[in-house]
Amino acid sequence: MSTAHFQKLYEQADDPWQVRQRWYEQRKRSLLLASLPAPRYRHIFEPACGNGELTAALSERADRITASDVSPAAVALTRRRITTVNARQVATVEVQCQHLPGEWPSEQFDLIVISEMAYYLPPADLPLLLERCLRTLAPGGAVVLCHWRRPFADRLLDTDAIHAAFNASPALHRIVNHQEADFLLDVWSTNPHSVAQHEGISP
């Protein structure tokens, strides 16, 4: 998918997929946030941030967020959305234009959230996406993937195949697997322990 395609979408509407209004999107976002293994993060990376709805929610659980999108219009929308967050502790958020996975920040992140993005990539880019995640994931960090499962015209990669590629990495341990007919949500960590184990509830 070209930059121009997404730029046109966000120039025509500030919420082209209605992620703000639709209950489906609100519920999916809540499930993703509930699946995170830690209550708060030092530094989150969110590629393909779109209009910033998820970024805004994540900002209440992080000290710092690096977000990016291929569309300058989406970047501007995310920057605007962050200014409306009303919470006691809001992350410092940096939003930039990047064409992923080739352009990828060099810093270390304790959480990487890839939501509704990877199926736009050509198949040859999937190994690079995984490599970039592993290279910039801090020790004990987590990777979240959340993607629509049903067919659509612009899809280049199958959702289940994307998640299976991450699940096959020996460096990652899957700690959350939520499957529905419409979407797939997975969380992996470099640490195999569950949330209950981290809190001493389970051995």
pLDDT digits 0-9 by tens, 5-33: 888 878 888 888 899 999 999 999 999 99
pLDDT band per the 50, 70, 90 thresholds, residue 4: confident
Please report whether residue 203 resides in a domain: no
pLDDT band per the 50, 70, 90 thresholds, residue 192: very high
- The per-residue pLDDT for 99 is 92
- The per-residue pLDDT for 19 is 94
pLDDT for 1 beyond 70: no
Please report whether residue 152 resides in a domain: yes
pLDDT for 190 beyond 60: yes
Q: Which two tokens stand for residue 200?
A: 């001493």
Please report whether residue 131 resides in a domain: yes
- The per-residue pLDDT for 32 is 99
Please report whether residue 192 resides in a domain: yes
pLDDT digits 0-9 by tens, 107-122: 999 999 999 999 999 9
Please report whether residue 113 resides in a domain: yes
- The residues, any chain, with a CB within 8 Å of residue 88's CB and separated by 6 or more, are none
Please report whether residue 162 resides in a domain: yes
The tally of domains found in the chain comes to 1
pLDDT for 141 beyond 80: yes
Please report whether residue 96 resides in a domain: yes
Cα(179)–Cα(44) distance, integer angstroms: 24
Per the structure, the complete domain to which residue 63 belongs is given by 3-198
Q: Tell me, what CATH number does 55's domain have?
A: 3.40.50.150
